[in-house]
Amino acid sequence: MIELSKEDKLYLQIIDDLHKFWQPHSGQLKVGKSLINGKASVLFVQCGRKWGKTDFAVYLLWRHALLHPGSTCYYITPELSHGREIIWHNSRLQQFARERDSMGRITPGGKEPLRKYIKHISNVDSRVTFKNGSTMKIVGSENWAAANGLTPDFVVYDEFKVFHPQFHNEMNPNRIVRKAPLVIIGTPPKPGDRNADQYMDFADECINRDDCSHILASSYDNPFTPKEEIDREIEKLKARGEEDVVQREYFGKVVVGGANAIFPMFSDDNLSKHSLLIQEIKYDLKKLDWFCVADPGSTTCFAVLFGCINPYTKKLYILDEIYEQRQENTTIRRIFPRIRAKMEEFYPNSSIEDDWIKTYDEAAAWFATELLNQYNVYFMPTAKHLNKKDHGLSLIKDQMIHNLVAISDRCVKLAWEIKRYAKNDRGDIPKKDDHLIDCYRYLNASANYNMLEVLEILRQKTGDERRGYSLKEDYTNFHSDNDWTWNIIPWEE
């Protein structure tokens, strides 16, 4: 028989005490596995309502504090008053594993298997101090100025979507130094919400990093929540046409649709496989109108879009992009060779000067000057002051609706901008994360793309295709065999 060490016995005792009156449900076990086994340092959970996020977060705090002596653990809420109301005053933090009745209410005088680990509880600063030297404390994100003084060993962000945007920037360097696990948990924001960008940027980062675990958790994953209760809430929302709210609040999904979305018709399904687009245009390269449009930024983002328009079908093909955010790579010497390489890739043996329509944001005059001096290549400035932004966005929507644009799956950042592009609650169009969308608008303006003219041309073209090659064939297309006029026209055989 294997003799357990003192540390192993203590570990098993703590786990047993933790689970006597509270255990993660099956959905929570699935979510927490990667964090508990050490495979992920960041756990990002986009969960639906009634999933049990608060109790699960408190469980993770207790578990880390008890199993790692001397740990400093923080439960961060949007505002301290919120944390004290939801987590502290109802004793969820300090009496986490206390005996409860069948309704989940704490039983007066019930057993408290974890009380023996506690040294002191301070109501003044919402702190629990354990006998092993660990502490748990509630902090509000509004106190971001003091966040750089926090040195955490374990952190929970509850409802990160409404955090003060500066808090994470102040505290995170200290967290990284301590290699402290971070749990971000809550429902995702609406497009256009005040801090939606911060939330979605972090979510995207976690999706792409190997040391992070990003999980969608549905309200239905909680086996203790009556399914019929969730069903009723969802049916009410669907009856009001609020499918985006259903997906966000009950399935934890970031939804493009909704009242604030500027391009609700767009999703990743609208992207086309790049090789298929190239196959579609490869025999018409010389017939197409080619465009290279730049939105130069030396300190923020240098964006370039490459596309072409078939002058006969008026279909726009957006083939590729450049989205450079590293400042050292936004110089003309670094960026233009990349631009030229893509132009040569899509239209081999073309003349960059003669065969391409090249446009740049008129506000970046330095770009045109340096490009002309260094490479003797001329880009034409936009006349964006003559074109209203909302008109340009409306044209893009019309092109999507009428299937007059095909966007390559290489255009990852363009798709990212389009999906996130939403008005705020005041109805204002956003003024950030739109570099490639601006390039798209400038391309249409450079092409003098007029939707009314395009639809009229297509309507006439469709009408012409219905006509036959002779009078009789043409007539047959519009009349059936038993039409009364059939017998009174003398057809010549």
Per-domain residue ranges of the chain: 6-100+110-229, 269-449, 453-488
Res 298: pLDDT: 67
At a CB cut-off of 8 Å and minimum separation 6, what does 481 contact?
none
Mean pLDDT of 323-336: 92
Nearest to 347 by CA among 286, 304, 408: 286
Judge whether 83 and 9 are in contact, CB under 8 Å: no
Judge whether 53 and 223 are in contact, CB under 8 Å: no
Judge whether 291 and 308 are in contact, CB under 8 Å: yes
Judge whether 304 and 294 are in contact, CB under 8 Å: yes
Number of residues in the chain:
493
Res 55: pLDDT: 86
Res 110: pLDDT: 62
Res 274: pLDDT: 96
Buried b (16+ CB within 10 A) or exposed e, 366-390: ebbebbeeeeebebeebebeeeeee
Cross-strand partners of 212: 42
Whether the pLDDT of residue 52 is over 70: the answer is: yes
Nearest to 65 by CA among 131, 139, 135: 135
Res 256: pLDDT: 59
Q: How confident is the model at residue 489 (pLDDT cuts 50, 70, 90)?
A: very low
Whether the pLDDT of residue 333 is over 80: the answer is: yes
Q: How confident is the model at residue 486 (pLDDT cuts 50, 70, 90)?
A: very low
- Residue 308 backbone phi and psi in degrees, to 5: -150, 155
Model confidence, pTM: 0.63
Could you tell me the sign of the dihedral formed by the alpha carbons of 383, 385, 389, 391, in that order? Answer: negative
Whether the pLDDT of residue 485 is over 70: the answer is: no
Mean pLDDT of 305-309: 97
Look up residue 131 and give its two tokens.
């006998």
Rounded (5°) CA angle 446-415-457 = 40
Q: How confident is the model at residue 100 (pLDDT cuts 50, 70, 90)?
A: low
**For residue 19, how many C-alpha atoms fall within 13 Å in the half-sphere facing its CB?**
10
Whether the pLDDT of residue 353 is over 70: the answer is: yes
Res 102: pLDDT: 56
**For residue 126, how many C-alpha atoms fall within 13 Å in the half-sphere facing its CB?**
23
**E strands, 67-163, in order:** 72-77, 118-122, 127-130, 135-140, 154-158
Whether the pLDDT of residue 4 is over 80: the answer is: no
How large a percentage of the chain has pLDDT more than 70?
A: 86
Q: How confident is the model at residue 488 (pLDDT cuts 50, 70, 90)?
A: very low
Lowest mean pLDDT, pick from 358-362, 374-378, 456-460, 462-466: 462-466
Sheet holding 316-324, edge to edge: 271-272, 405-408, 316-324, 302-309, 289-295, 356-360, 380-381
Q: Which fold has domain 269-449?
A: Nucleotidyltransferase; domain 5 (3.30.420)
Considering 118-127, 207-216, 307-316, 467-476, the range whose residues carry the highest mean pLDDT is 307-316
The architecture in CATH of the region 6-100+110-229 reads: 3-Layer(aba) Sandwich (3.40)
Rounded (5°) CA angle 157-160-163 = 105
Res 378: pLDDT: 94
Q: How confident is the model at residue 283 (pLDDT cuts 50, 70, 90)?
A: very high
Q: How confident is the model at residue 459 (pLDDT cuts 50, 70, 90)?
A: confident
Q: How confident is the model at residue 108 (pLDDT cuts 50, 70, 90)?
A: low
Res 155: pLDDT: 93
Cross-strand partners of 158: 185
> Dihedral through CA 204, CA 64, CA 35, CA 227, nearest 10?
-80
Task: Give the chain's mean pLDDT.
Answer: 84
Mean pLDDT of 375-381: 94
- Tens of pLDDT, residues 208-254: 788 888 888 899 988 888 888 899 989 988 888 777 788 888 988 87
Whether the pLDDT of residue 470 is over 60: the answer is: no
Q: How confident is the model at residue 484 (pLDDT cuts 50, 70, 90)?
A: very low
Helix/strand/coil percent split, the chain, to 5: 45, 15, 40
